[in-house]
Amino acid sequence: MASSTLLLCTTKTPSSNSLTNLSFFSKPSCLFVHGKRNQEHFKVSCCMGEHNEKMNFDRRDLLLGLGGLYGAANLAPLASASDKLTDEPIPAPSLKTCSTAYIEGNIPVPYSCCPPPLPDGMAMDDVPYYEVPECSQLRVRTAAQVVDQDFIDDYNDAISIMKNLDASDPRSFQQQANIHCAYCNGAYTTVGGKDLQVHFNWLFFPFHRWYLYFYERILGSLIGESTFALPYWNWDNPDGMYFPSMFNQPNTYPDLYDTNRSVNTQNGTFMDLNYVNTEAQTATQSQLLPSGDCSTSGFGTIENMPHTPVHLWTGTNPGTKLSNGNTSYGEDMGNFYSASIDPVFSGHHANVDRMWNIWKSFGGKRVDLTQTDWLESAFFFYDEDCNPWRVKVQDCLDTVKMGYCYAPMATPWVSYKPQKKTTKGKLDPSSVMAAESIFPLSKLDKAISFSIKRPATSRSQQEKDEKEEILKFKGIKHDNKEYLRFDVFLNADKTVNTDELDKIEYAGSYTSLPHAHNASHEFVPRVFNLAITELLEDNKLEDDATIVVTVVPKKGCQVLSIQSVNIELLDC
C-alpha cells in the first residue's frame, strides 16, 4: 500500500453553543454509555493521536454504548470455527456469481443489483488491489447539523450529477445503491457456495468504510472538489438527534430528499434510538444503553444498536403504501436492499464509521483484529474513474492514511453512567428456573427469567483485564423477514419496564433488520454475546456464583428459538 502524507485536521468547523446544554433532558436520552464515575471529560479530536491512547477509560464506555466492540474480542468471531462464514479470508466476490437479490423470502428485488461487467477480457483475478493514494489535504467529515449553505449546495449538485449519469455507469446513483443491495441481500455467493452477507459479522465495519470511501471520492470528482467530504449524522449528540434538515428540503434540495421515509423524520421529531414499533408513531426520548458483541454469525453491537434502530426509525413503516402504490417492506432505509437509495444512508454510516474511530481512540485493549482471515478478506468496487479494484480489510484500518477524518463534536455519552436500579438488593436465583431447565427454548412469547451459573467469582482486576465475562446466547433462530428485538437484563424480574433502559441492570438488546435472502435462508442460527464484567460490578454481583437473567421480547419474537445460554470467560 502506498504511504500517505499524514496531516492534522486544520479545517475549521462551525460550533454550536447548545452542544453541551443538556438541561432540557429529563433524563439523558441516548447519552448511552455507562461511563466511569468522576471520569475526566473527553472530547474526541479530529484525528486521533498518541495522547488519546494513554487516556484511562472505563471499559464500559463503548461496551454498553457505541457497540460494545470490546477490543478484538467483540469484533472477532466469538463462536467456534463452525459458526464462521468461512474458515479463510473472504475473497472479493466474482461478478460471475452475482444473481438475483431478494427483498424478503422469495420476493426478488425488481431489478438487478449486480455491478456493471468488467472491461472486456478482464477476469476477477486480473483486477488489481487498490493502493490508497497519498493525500496532501485530508477530507474532513463534518456533522450534518453544522454544515453551511455552500456545502449543502455542493452536495446536492454532486448527487444530482450522480443521478443523471447513465444507469450503466458504475458511478451512477443507482449503481452505487446497488452495491449495498448486492452485498446484503444475497446476490453474491462466496467460497463454499454460501451467501455473502456483510452484516451480522466481522465484515460490517470494513465493508461500509470502503463503500463510503469510494462513494465520497466519486461525488468529489463529479463536482471537481478533491477535498469534498461526506457529512455525518451525529445521532450520538443531542443536537444531532433529529433528522438532518439538509436531507429534508424537497423544494430546495430535491436530490438529497427521499420520498420513502417514515413520518418520524418530519417536523423536527426527536429521534428514538430505542425504536421498536413498526407502526407510525411519534418518537420519544426513550433511553438507550446498548451493549453486546458479535460472532461471525451474530451482531457487532454498534450494528445491533443504534445502527439498526436508526434504519428502522427512518424507513417507511412495513405494510403502508409507498408513493408508487406498492406495499412497503420498510423502504428505503428500513430494508437492506433499498437503504442506500436514501441519501441520508451515507450520513448514517459515516457516524457508524466515526464510532469505530472513537472506540479505538480510547486505547487500551481497543485494537483491531489481527486474524489473517479478517485482514485478508476483500471486496470489489469501482472508483471515481470507473476503474475496477479489489480492496482488503487491512488497508482501511487507518482513516488518516485513507485521506479523511472526522471534525470533532461533543460526546456527552462518554461520562454518562446510569444510576437507577429496578431491583432493590439481589434477586434470589432459587426463585426462578435454571437455564438448563428452560433451554432449548422453542418460542419467546413472554418475558422469562432464569438462573445461570458463572464460571468464576470474585475475580481480581488482573483477571478481569485478561478475560472478559461473556453472557452467550447460542443457536438463535428467527424469521429474517421480520424486524425482531429482545432485551436482556441482569438481576431484574419479569416486571422490568423495558421502555426505560437507563437502568443499571440493562445488559443489551438483540435486533435484526429484515434481510432474508430467499425462502431457504429464513432461519439461520446466530450467536449473541454480551460482555458483562462491569455490569456485574455495577450490580454488586461479582461474588455471586449464580445470577438471574431476564429476557424480554419487544418485537417479532413469536417465531424465535434459542438453543442455549451460558456464561464464558473470553480472552481480552
- In 312-456, where do the E strands start and end? 378-382, 388-392, 404-406, 433-434, 448-453
Distance CA 158, CA 228 (A): 10
Alpha carbon distances (Å) from 422 to 153, 426, 492? 49, 11, 7
Which amino acid type is present at position 202? W
Q: Does residue 34 carry a catalytic annotation?
A: no
Residue 180 assigned as binding residue:
yes
User: Which residues in 155-192 are b (16+ Cβ under 10 Å) and which e?
Assistant: bbbbbbbbeebeeebbbbbbbbbbbbbbbbbbbbbbee
Mutual orientation of helices 149-164 and 204-222 as an angle, nearest 10°? 90
> Catalytic: which of 180, 348, 478, 515?
180
Distance CA 569, CA 547 (A): 15
Q: Does residue 478 carry a catalytic annotation?
A: no
Rounded to whole angstroms, the maximal C-alpha distance in the chain is 71
Helix intervals (H) in 396-479:
435-438, 461-466
Residue 478 assigned as binding residue:
no
> Catalytic: which of 34, 199, 478, 515?
199
The answer to whether 293 touches 74, Cβ cutoff 8 Å, is yes
Q: Does residue 204 carry a catalytic annotation?
A: no
The answer to whether 420 touches 539, Cβ cutoff 8 Å, is no
Distance CA 289, CA 62 (A): 10
> Catalytic: which of 34, 208, 478, 517?
208
Return the C-alpha torsion angle 553, 555, 557, 562, nearest 10. -60
Contacts of 129 (CB under 8 A, 6+ apart): 378, 389, 390, 391, 392
Alpha carbon distances (Å) from 300 to 44, 64, 201, 331? 22, 12, 7, 23
Residue 280 has φ and ψ, to the nearest 5°, of -60, 135
Distance CA 541, CA 118 (A): 58
> Catalytic: which of 311, 348, 478, 517?
311
Give the count of beta carbons closer than 10 Å to the beta carbon of residue 249.
13
> Catalytic: which of 57, 205, 214, 336?
336
> Catalytic: which of 34, 348, 349, 517?
349
Residue 307 assigned as binding residue:
yes
Distance CA 519, CA 240 (A): 39
The answer to whether 30 touches 288, Cβ cutoff 8 Å, is yes
Contacts of 35 (CB under 8 A, 6+ apart): 58, 60, 61, 413, 414, 415, 416, 417
Residue 521 assigned as binding residue:
no
The answer to whether 314 touches 242, Cβ cutoff 8 Å, is no
> Catalytic: which of 32, 204, 299, 307?
307
Residue 348 assigned as binding residue:
no
Grid coordinates representing 173 are 446513483
Residue 311 assigned as binding residue:
yes
The annotation places the binding site at 180, 199, 208, 307, 311, 349
Residues that are catalytic:
180, 199, 208, 307, 311, 336, 349
The annotation places the binding site for Cu cation at 180, 199, 208, 307, 311, 349
